[in-house]
Amino acid sequence: MWNRVLDRAGVPDPGLRRDYTLQRRAVRRYRPAEYTAARLLLPAALLPDVVAAVAFMHETDDRVDRGARDERAAALAAWDGHVRKALDGGDAELPVLRCLVRTVERTPALRAHVEEFLRGAEREAEWRGVADEDDFAAYVRAYSLPGLMLTACLLAPADPVRRAAFTDGCHRIIAGMQRLDFLEDLSEDLREGRPGVPADALARHGAEPSRPDAALGRVVAEQADRAAAELAGGEGVEAAVDDAFRPFVRALLGVQRLRLDAVRRAGASLAVRTSGPAPAAAAALLLREWRARRAGKGPRAPDRPF
């Protein structure tokens, strides 16, 4: 199946096919539900580009999310140099960069999003936690939204009015997704000394992020309510995209709602364990969208949307 995807995407070179296969495995591990949604509901010719963009985003995030502050800054500076060298026609030293270069060649508008994401990564490298809602919003604008737009730009409508609505909806969706990330990863972030739950929310409820008690449960419930509102505010993205991409957008939003349900169930226990969407529920959601698409209830996606 994957070999046919690469054929449809016009990737004949054996080395590049291996590179894309490596990135696919990484993305599938990183976001299994979202990857499956893309695999089932997006056109085959587009999937390698989506995989390349997500893999690059995750590689960047991983490089600037480890070690002390000065180590993260040094890692970002080195990575920025590798990326720009590859995009400027120099050696692409890693499979993830070789795939990124080919995707930028196919979709030149992606390069601006890559550069914006790298600028935003400076904030991630310096990040020590979230002080309040203003701080959270600034983080989303600087880093989370550019990260989402690496892939979202591949689905963006050409019409300027619809594109503006699309980008606004993406901003709302990624705010909800980022808030869920911070809740799901609370136990891991605590070990790094950088919890993503806003400090003012913890103080307001008298909660300690490492203590799974009723106070922390109230914080989780409050943050979950905010995430729900943000995701609901992004539902206009479905109307903004071309008909062919609406099943994927519905599935993506559905997976986020499953993540939200899991966070609510976990509550204060997120201090000591992670959470994620129930696999059976995610599989059922994706199967419904896939069957609807196959049954002709929605337009079939073209091989190439641009």
| Full DSSP string of 54-112 | HHHHHHHHHHTSSS-HHHHHHHHHHHHHHHHHHHTTS---SHHHHHHHHHHHH-TTHHH
pTM of the entire structure?
A: 0.90
Q: Which of 306, 302, 293 is nearest to 43 (CA)?
A: 302
User: How far is it, in rounded angstroms, from Cα 285 to Cα 265?
Assistant: 19
Q: Which domain holds residue 198?
A: 127-289
Amino acid at 6: L
Q: Is 197 in the same domain as 275?
A: yes
Tell me, what's the pLDDT at 299? 43
Domain boundary among 76, 107, 138: 107
Tell me, what's the pLDDT at 193? 86
**Would you say residue 165 lies in a domain?**
yes
**Would you say residue 95 lies in a domain?**
yes
Burial class of 48 by CB neighbour count within 10 A (0 to 12, 13 to 18, 19+): buried
> What CATH number is given to the structural domain containing 273?
1.10.600.10
Task: Decide if 43 contacts 302 (C-beta within 8 A).
Answer: yes
Tell me, what's the pLDDT at 296? 66
Q: Is 91 in the same domain as 236?
A: no
Number of domains in the chain: 2
User: How far is it, in rounded angstroms, from Cα 269 to Cα 217?
Assistant: 8
Encode pLDDT of 235-267 as tens digits. Answer: 999 999 998 899 999 999 999 999 999 999 999
Q: Is 191 in the same domain as 278?
A: yes
Q: Is 202 in the same domain as 256?
A: yes
**Would you say residue 92 lies in a domain?**
yes
Q: Is 23 in the same domain as 95?
A: yes
Number of C-beta neighbours around residue 107 at 10 A: 17
Q: Is 192 in the same domain as 248?
A: yes
Q: Is 255 in the same domain as 174?
A: yes
**Would you say residue 118 lies in a domain?**
no
**Would you say residue 119 lies in a domain?**
no
Domain boundary among 107, 141, 162: 107
User: How far is it, in rounded angstroms, from Cα 131 to Cα 136?
Assistant: 7
**Would you say residue 120 lies in a domain?**
no
Cβ neighbors of 113 (< 8 A, separation 6 or more) are 146, 149, 150, 153
Q: Is 147 in the same domain as 30?
A: no
Q: Is 89 in the same domain as 152?
A: no
**Would you say residue 147 lies in a domain?**
yes
- Kindly give the confidence (pLDDT) of every residue in the chain, 306 residues in length, as a single tens digit, with 9 standing for 90 and above: 899 999 999 999 999 999 999 999 999 998 888 899 999 999 999 999 999 999 999 999 999 988 888 999 999 999 999 999 999 987 888 999 999 999 999 999 999 999 999 999 999 998 889 999 999 999 999 999 999 999 999 999 999 999 999 999 999 999 999 999 999 999 999 988 889 999 999 999 999 999 999 999 999 999 999 999 999 999 999 999 998 899 999 999 999 999 999 999 999 999 999 999 999 999 999 999 999 888 765 444 443 332
**Would you say residue 301 lies in a domain?**
no
Q: Is 166 in the same domain as 274?
A: yes
Q: Is 212 in the same domain as 281?
A: yes
Domain boundary among 74, 107, 140: 107
Q: Is 240 in the same domain as 283?
A: yes
